[in-house]
Structure 1
Amino acid sequence: MDFMTYISENALILIPALYIVGMIIRGTESIPNKFIPFILLIIGITSAMFLLGFSVNSAIQGVLVTGAAVYTNQLFKQYNKRE
């Protein structure tokens, strides 16, 4: 199942944007890494609602793009992991 089919084309721009925001937050020492996905979720839902309009579908799009951004980060981490 390809979950990218569920993400609206208009919301795809949020995936790299959230990824970059996550990397910026990760660079700050004051925020623990365990809180980054929650912060990105709030930013993702808010951004999707402003981009797509205030609706339940927009909130769902925000959750999906945040999941894709966090998943992408995890893919890079696992790929670069040395065993």
Structure 2
Amino acid sequence: MDDLWHLLPEDFHFIIPALWFIGYACKRTPFIPDWLIIWILLTIGVLAACNLYGWNIRSIAEGIIATGLAVFSHQIVKQTCNRAKDTIREGS
């Protein structure tokens, strides 16, 4: 994960927790389907990156990377927590 973190400039490090929060809010919103959440996060990530560094290919790529890191890190936490729950259920 540390290697992936260094792909982004320091200015982007705040985008990942922001995307986590936005994704959580979207997940709790009943009229937003789960499949749409990733597209919302991707759009926000790219827009945030382009607002920081201007509208160019590099900014778009960094917005995509920031979104990928946010989703990837969320899945690491989620799957690790679910693994612990699954282990408890299997032991019962």
CA distance in 2, matches of 1:71, 1:52: 23
1:48 aligns with 2:49: yes
Per-residue CA deviation, residues 47-69 of structure 1 (Å, 9 max, x unaligned), is: 11001222111111100110011
Q: CA RMSD in A?
A: 1.3
CA distance in 2, matches of 1:52, 1:9: 12
Conservation of the 8 A alpha-carbon contact between 1:45 and 1:59: yes
Which consecutive unaligned segments of at least 5 residues does structure 2 have?
Answer: 87-92
CA distance in 1, matches of 2:5, 2:57: 18
Larger Rg: 2
Which consecutive unaligned segments of at least 5 residues does structure 1 have?
Answer: none
TM-score, normalization: structure 2? 0.83
Equivalences, count: 83
TM-score, normalization: structure 1? 0.92
Per-residue CA deviation, residues 60-81 of structure 1 (Å, 9 max, x unaligned), is: 1100110011112111211110
Map of 2:60 onto structure 1: 59
* 4+ residue segments displaced more than 6 Å: none
Which structure is richer in relative contact order (CA contacts within 8 A, separation 6 or more)?
A: 1
Map of 1:71 onto structure 2: 72
CA distance in 1, matches of 2:31, 2:78: 21
